[in-house]
């Protein structure tokens, strides 16, 4: 029965009977109608939403007694939450959480552009966040505006400071992940960099965070005579931010640290290579594998969440992604095919530096203390990356490592498989992560 409950069915289309009414509805209304059919045990009505191709594979009996079977395992359905929307793997999703006597399940649906149902799934609902929400404590924290300046680019920044400090304090420069992030690294209602900044300031440690160049300047973010790569996207500005932090009168210049999250974690060793006089490096969910490999794995993972990996369209998309990733590895050789699109529409200049840079080897050359932190539920940067950091820094005397069983890529607590839908739910960075970072800064290790 559990296999029935958690399998994902890739469905699509409209059948006669409900065809006219169903076709005229928007997807939100369609989702509600399918839920009503589920509750009323109307298997034929649900089957009426299948494509001709899948009707040949699935009979109405597949949906017969769907809810009664679930109730025999988890108790009677007691209530249904509000509908929400999201995206995963290119699919537009509609979902609501269902409260049963003994468990919470998420009812998840997705529709084609023509309104056909292509996904219907019951899955465990993510557990509510246990971490307390972050709040600005004006008694313990103060902030002042600054600007990071590099190559003529000016990026708004904020220095968060502990109030009542007796002397100069350590400072952590926060370096974002990929994409046009703001200073708080905002994703939905979550602001992990703001959480870290306020939490560290309350523990006596300053932080400097800034809007990313790609956010402030968009397509005009590359200086004349340069190309888009790791350096122009992130490294140059992070080095300038370190210099700015060192110049602040409230900051101890010999105790400035780099904290990189995601891409920022991957690049943290490169950043320190350009600014070696730092107190240490904190790598938070930093990729250790080649970028193209992680990209292909993420696409495959999201496809497994949103649909059936055996579906012909999904297989074709995954094959194309893998072909692109393999072609990237051939850059600079006779085997490279310029006719194959590069992954994520990034230019060749970006992939050339990505290929040449090995973050673990760069970290192994550093002499400063290093802390590597990883969420065990992270599907973007995985425990495979964490293992590569550990193996590569095995001989580094000042390297510390810690993984967190409940955390995903945004440092949100949860259970079970992580999904992009979690990123839409408010969930602050837990205090124990901030405590570990503060302990590392004070003692040079965990």
* Mean pLDDT comparison of 100-104, 317-321, 392-396, highest-scoring range: 392-396
pLDDT in tens, 364-396: 999 999 999 999 999 999 999 999 999 999 999
Q: Domain limits of the chain? A: 2-124, 141-291+346-443
**What pLDDT, on the 0 to 100 scale, is given for residue 20?**
33
Give Cα 425 to chain centroid, integer Å. 13
- H or E element at residue 85: strand 84-88
Torsions phi, psi of 439, nearest 5?
Answer: -65, -40
Give all strands (DSSP E) within 196-318, no chain letters.
206-210, 251-261, 280-284
Nearest CA among 372, 435, 430 for reference residue 203: 435
**Rounded to whole angstroms, how far apart are CA atoms 161 and 426?**
25
Query: What value does the mean pLDDT of the chain take?
Result: 87
- H or E element at residue 1: none
Residues 6+ apart with CB under 8 A from 380: 262, 285, 294, 298, 409
**What pLDDT, on the 0 to 100 scale, is given for residue 191?**
94
Residue 6: other Cβ atoms inside 10 A? 14
**Rounded to whole angstroms, how far apart are CA atoms 108 and 122?**
6
**Rounded to whole angstroms, how far apart are CA atoms 378 and 385?**
10
Residue 21 has pLDDT above 50, yes or no: no
Torsions phi, psi of 165, nearest 5?
Answer: -70, 135
Token pair of 119 as six digits: 């996904």
Percentages helix, strand, coil for the chain (3-state, rounded to 5) are: 40, 25, 40
**Strand, coil or helix: 248:** coil
**What pLDDT, on the 0 to 100 scale, is given for residue 16?**
26
Angle 66-74/27-40 helices, nearest 10 degrees? 70
User: What's the mean pLDDT in 50-59?
Assistant: 67
According to DSSP, residue 307 is labeled: S
Nearest CA among 250, 243, 229 for reference residue 272: 243
The answer to whether domain 141-291+346-443 has CATH 3.40.225.10 is: no
**What pLDDT, on the 0 to 100 scale, is given for residue 55?**
65
Token pair of 274 as six digits: 């350009």
User: What's the mean pLDDT in 288-302?
Assistant: 93
Token pair of 120 as six digits: 């219907």
The answer to whether domain 2-124 has CATH 3.10.450.590 is: yes
Q: 157 and 209 in contact (C-beta within 8 Å)? A: yes
According to DSSP, residue 232 is labeled: I
* C-alpha dist (Å) from residue 56 to 7, 42, 49, 155: 19, 19, 13, 57
Lowest-confidence region among 37-51, 268-282, 303-317: 303-317
């Amino acid at each position: 029965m559990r296999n029935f409950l958690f399998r994902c069915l890739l469905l699509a289309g409209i059948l006669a009977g409900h065809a006219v009414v169903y076709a005229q509805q928007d997807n939100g209304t369609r989702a509600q109608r399918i839920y009503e059919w589920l509750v009323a045990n109307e298997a034929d009505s649900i089957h009426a939403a299948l494509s001709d191709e899948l009707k040949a594979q699935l009979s109405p009996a597949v949906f017969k007694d769907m809810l009664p079977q679930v109730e025999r395992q988890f108790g009677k359905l007691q209530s249904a939450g509000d509908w929400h929307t999201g995206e995963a793997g290119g699919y537009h999703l509609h979902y609501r959480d269902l409260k049963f006597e003994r468990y919470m399940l998420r009812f998840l649906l997705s529709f084609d552009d023509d309104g056909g149902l292509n996904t219907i799934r019951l899955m465990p609902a993510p557990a509510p966040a246990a971490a307390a929400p972050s709040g600005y404590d004006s008694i313990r924290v103060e902030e002042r505006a600054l600007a990071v300046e590099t190559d003529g680019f000016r990026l708004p920044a904020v220095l968060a400071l502990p109030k009542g400090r007796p002397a100069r304090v350590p400072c952590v420069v926060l370096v974002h992940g990929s994409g046009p992030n703001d200073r708080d690294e905002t994703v939905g209602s979550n602001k992990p960099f703001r959480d870290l900044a306020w939490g560290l300031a309350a523990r006596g440690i300053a932080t400097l965070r800034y809007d990313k160049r790609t956010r402030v300047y968009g397509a005009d973010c590359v200086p004349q005579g340069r190309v888009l790569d790791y350096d122009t996207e992130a490294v140059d500005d992070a080095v300038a931010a370190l210099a700015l932090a060192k110049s602040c009168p409230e900051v101890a210049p010999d105790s400035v640290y780099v904290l990189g999250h995601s891409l920022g974690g991957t690049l943290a060793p490169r950043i320190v290579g350009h600014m070696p006089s730092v107190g240490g490096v904190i790598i938070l969910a930093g990729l250790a594998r080649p970028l193209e490999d992680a990209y292909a794995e993420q696409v495959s993972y999201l496809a497994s969440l949103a649909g059936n990996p055996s579906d012909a369209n999904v297989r074709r998309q995954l094959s194309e992604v893998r072909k692109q990733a393999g072609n990237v590895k051939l850059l600079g050789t006779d085997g490279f095919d310029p006719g194959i699109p590069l992954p994520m529409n990034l230019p060749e200049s970006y992939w050339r530096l990505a290929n040449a840079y090995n973050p673990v080897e760069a970290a192994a050359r550093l002499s400063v203390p290093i802390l590597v932190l990883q969420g065990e539920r992270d599907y973007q940067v995985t425990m495979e990356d964490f293992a590569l950091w550990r193996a590569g820094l095995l001989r580094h005397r000042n390297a510390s490592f810690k993984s967190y069983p409940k955390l995903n890529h945004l440092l949100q607590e949860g259970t079970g498989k992580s999904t992009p839908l979690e990123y839409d739910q408010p969930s602050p960075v837990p205090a124990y992560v901030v405590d570990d970072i503060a302990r590392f800064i004070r003692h040079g290790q965990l």
